Structure 1
Amino acid sequence: MPWVESRGNSVRVKWDTGRVDPETGKKIYDGKSSTKWTEDEAFDYGLDRESDVRNDRYISRRDGSLLMKDYCRDWPDTLDVGHLRERNVRSHLRLYVIPRWADVAVGDIKPSMYRAWEKWLRAQPHIGDRYAGEILGTFSMLMDDAVEDELRKVSPVPKKRKRGRYVKKKREKKREMAIADVHQLALNALVYWGFAGYVFVLTMAYTGMRPAELYALRREYCHPAWPMSDPDEEQREESVERYTRRGMPAIRVEYQHQWKDSQLTLLPPKYESRRALVIPPFLAELLDMLLASHNSEWVFVSISGSELAKANFTYQYWRRIADGQTASVPRRQGGGRGGCWRPLPGWSGVKGWIGKRLYLLRHGHKEWLDEDGHSRIAAESRMGHEVAGVEGLYANVTVAMEKRIMDSLQERWEGLMRTLGDDFTLPSPISLPVDLDGWIKSQVRAAVGKGT
């Protein structure tokens, strides 16, 4: 039964929490006082709390008073997620959750307080809808765990009903990915980056690989070395039988390059989506030429010859490739400010790609697969996705499916070659390690001959 006592102008009530101190063996009591209570009201309040204890609804006032800044300090250590997800969660807590809720008790956050914060968060000009959703998702997960830790009765984040005005989600405007535009992007990369840039753009467009997977593509997992160079004996034998003996060149997506604990680290690809990707013959020839032109363990190296993942690729490479660049002024001999050590001619941006993301090359690859009528399981598997449900359980990617993908991608390339003509010349301002101009002319002749 609750115990009530008067203290000055207030009335205090204590009740049994149903817990025992493990060190002393004594019962643990909780309590509350108020200047507005009568003794009968205080007694009834204590009865209600003891009812909560008996029905597993009770949250100790002592536990519920734990501050958010203290809970957020230890909570990320309980998560069993990939390092990128954990890094993002810690960033959300540090930048947005703790600054708002640091000195608020975990048990004192009300749904109305959460809704006001959500409205504020989504109104910030520097926070996009997607990023705001990620922050709120982290907070929702945090509150769910607080309920499991018995710091709250329920989460303040609404789960089922949606309140407020309907707001249609903004979707990124996209246009069809034309092969001529992709080739122009590759030519821009050739001018700025060199032969590696030309092959990089075409490889992403023709395989749909994620950027971090391309950064981490190693020589032993790339055509022409793979699959004979695969260190996994069983996988090597199966891949040789499936690809090499059937004349289908392929590359293996085994890693992605990401920063972990301030170190550039090889990690499994997103969703553990290790996969083999059959490639069209023209791309196989380009990759063979690229690997013969350098000795790096990485297929694609930066302008300076180091790991590509060390660069801020969007800013240092992609924006120049897609948006264009004015001619650079050579730095005068003798030093001094101004000018550039790599004087380059100017080039125009590619219409439809100015300001657009590199990742849209991956989107465009899926668009090509759908346009050419390939099966859903073959397309999704190539993109590194799993098809859910019975369809994914029963389906399987066959050799014939991969052969059709290889052939359709090659046909798309040959269609482009037939539009170039014999007078096509490369815009490269520097000497290349390979005779790319001669190679493209041979591609044009072969495509024209095949089309007649």
Structure 2
Amino acid sequence: MPHVEWRGGTCRVKWWTGEKLPNGRKRYESKGGFTDEDSALLYGMDQEYEVRQGVAITNRDGAMAMSEWLDAWYGSLELAHRSMVNYESVIRVHIKPFFARRTVGEISIMDHRAFKKHITTVLASENSRKAVLAVFSMAMDDAVSAGLRKASPVERHRRRGKYTKKKRERKKDMAPAAVEALARNAHAVFGPSGYVFIWTMATTGMRPAELYGLTREYCYPTWPESDLHTDPDESDRYAEDTLRYGKGEGLMPAVRVERQVQYQDGGLRFFPPKYESSRSLVVPPFLAEMLERLLKEHDSQWVFPSIGGGNLRSANFDHKYWRPIADGAEADEGPRRLGARMALPEVPSFAGKRLYLLRHGAKAWLDEDGHSRFAVESRMGHEVPGVEGIYSSVTVPMERAIMKSLQERWESVPDRMGDAAWG
């Protein structure tokens, strides 16, 4: 039974937590500030009920510092490399500083609202704001599961405040002529490697990190014979690939998305593709010829080496390479291969835009050409949910149709650089 006692002008209630101290005595907790005994007693009885039901949160548990909990929570996660890096950054830069002097148990709905408002003032990108709030929400949900809180302070199911329409990135149709213009600028920046890089991304839809990490072993014309066979459970796939892809009569030219490169501990490392989306991608005849010729042109392990022969991720591709390729550049401005110092024209549909929109355009092309939804999503490295994803498969006729439509896209460009890229 809770015990109520007066302290000055208010009363305090004490209740047993169900735990004992090392000396064997019962451990009690208390709460003061009540103005009448009935409300204090009722509060104490509620606490004892929660103790009996096994759902009580002690003051000691809720008193864990947020910084301590966030460190413990982060250490328990097992996610993809990029996700771990992003979570660590969100916790260090945004969550810890805001809740520096707070405990896990005292954070309220009002605190969550204040944090949301703060994030809106410091981050311009809606996607960045959502990422920060999502990490905070997960940390609070797990605090409940760990017995540090009774409920999460994150509001859900009800929207409060003024409605704000979600802003979408404005994109323009990706014309083959625009891709050719990008490829020409890329050729001026880093040679044949740049020209083929742009057309490869536009026709395969590979993610940038997957293109940076593409090595000879997984590229036409040597793949699939040159596959590293790193997974013993994939023996059936290895055998089937040799019957379907490669260089030879009846085979389809293709590249294998097996890895991406990311930084870890100050150096580049191989990681599985995003969402474990390993996949085989047929390429149109024009691209197969260019890839074969490109690999004869250099001896780098990377299919698309930088100006200096290294990896494009190390070259800070987005800033140093992509911006002059898309936005244009004055003569002698920015990094250039030897002998190429002319001005680069702007590509209007990509000026100021992200490299990733080439991947978006690759999907739009496939959609426009009426290819199977399952074949398109599989090519992009997406999981197709439901029965469709279980029963469907990508067939040889589907892949040949994709090769044909992409070849037609290339041939629709009236003034292609083509062989001149090696001139």
TM-score range, shorter chain: over 0.9
SS at match of 1:19: strand
Residue 86 of structure 2 corresponds to residue 88 of structure 1: yes
Q: What secondary structure, in the 3-state scheme, does the structure 2 residue paired with 1:252 have?
A: strand
> What CA distance in whole angstroms lies between the structure 2 residues aligned with 1:402 and 1:329?
41
> What residue identity is the alignment partner of 1:243?
Y
| 1:392 aligns with one of 389, 394, 402 | 389
CA contact (8 A) 1:4 1:13 kept: yes
> Which of 363, 370, 374 in structure 2 is aligned with 1:373?
370
In 1, the alpha carbon distance for the partners of 2:109 and 2:343 equals 55
Among 174, 199, 210, the alignment partner of 1:177 is: 174
- Looking at structure 2, the residues matched to 47 and 40 of structure 1 have their Cα atoms a distance apart, in angstroms, of 11
Encode CA deviations 1:263-284: one digit per residue, 9 max, x unaligned: 2110000011111000001101
CA 1:144 to 1:177, structure 2 compared with 1: closer, same or farther past 3 Å? same
One-letter amino acid matched to 1:19: E
- Could you tell me how far 1:309 is from its partner in structure 2? 1.6
Q: Relative to structure 2, which stretch is displaced further, 203-212 or 53-62?
A: 53-62
Aligned counterpart, 2:232: none
Aligned position for 1:242 = 244
Identity over the aligned pairs, expressed in percent? 50
Larger Rg: 1
Q: Is the 8 A contact 1:219 1:297 kept in 2?
A: yes
RMSD of the alignment, in Å? Answer: 2.2
Query: Relative contact order (C-alpha < 8 Å, sep 6+): which is higher?
Result: 2
SS at match of 2:105: helix
Is residue 231 of structure 1 aligned with residue 228 of structure 2? yes
Q: Which residue of the partner structure matches residue 259 of structure 2?
A: 255
In 1, Cα distance between equivalents of 2:23 and 2:274 = 50
Within the candidate set 324, 334, 343, 1:320 is matched to 324
Q: Offset of 1:44 from its aligned partner? A: 3.4
1:80 offset after TM fit, Å?
A: 2.1
Which one-letter code corresponds to 1:84 in the other structure?
Answer: R
Tell me, which stretches of 5 or more residues in structure 2 are unaligned? Answer: 230-234
Post-superposition Cα deviations, 1:201-226, rounded to whole Å, max 9, x if no partner, equal 01100110000000000101100110
Q: Sort the Cα spacing of 1:343 and 1:413 in 2 relative to 1 into closer, same or farther, 3 A.
A: closer
Contact 1:229 1:236 in 2 (8 A): no
Report whether the alignment pairs 1:437 with 2:420: yes
1:200 Cα offset (Å): 0.5
Gaps of at least 5 residues in structure 1 are: 331-339, 427-434, 441-452
- Equivalent residue for 2:344? 347
Task: Pick from 74, 77, 82 the counterpart of residue 75 of structure 2.
Answer: 77
Alignment partner of 1:50 out of 48, 51, 55: 48
Instruction: Please give the alpha-carbon distance, in whole angstroms, between the structure 1 residues aligned to 2:303 and 2:39.
Output: 76
1:24 shift after superposition? 4.5
SS in 2 for 1:374: coil
Q: Would the aligned equivalents of 1:327 and 1:343 in 2 still touch at CA under 8 Å?
A: no
**Inter-partner Cα distance in structure 2 for 1:198 and 1:187:** 6
Contact 1:329 1:343 in 2 (8 A): no
Q: Distance in 1 between matches of 2:158 and 2:389?
A: 31
Q: Deviations over 1:71-125 (max 9, x none)?
A: 112210111211211111111111111111111121111112211221231233x
2:152 is the alignment partner of 1:155: yes
Label 1:5 to 1:290 Cα distance change in 2 as closer, same or farther (>3 A): same
Is the Cα–Cα contact under 8 Å of residues 251 and 276 in structure 1 kept in the other structure? yes
Residue type of the partner of 2:221?
Answer: P
* Residue 31 (structure 2) aligns with: 32
Give, as a single letter, the amino acid of the residue that structure 2 aligns with 1:86.
M
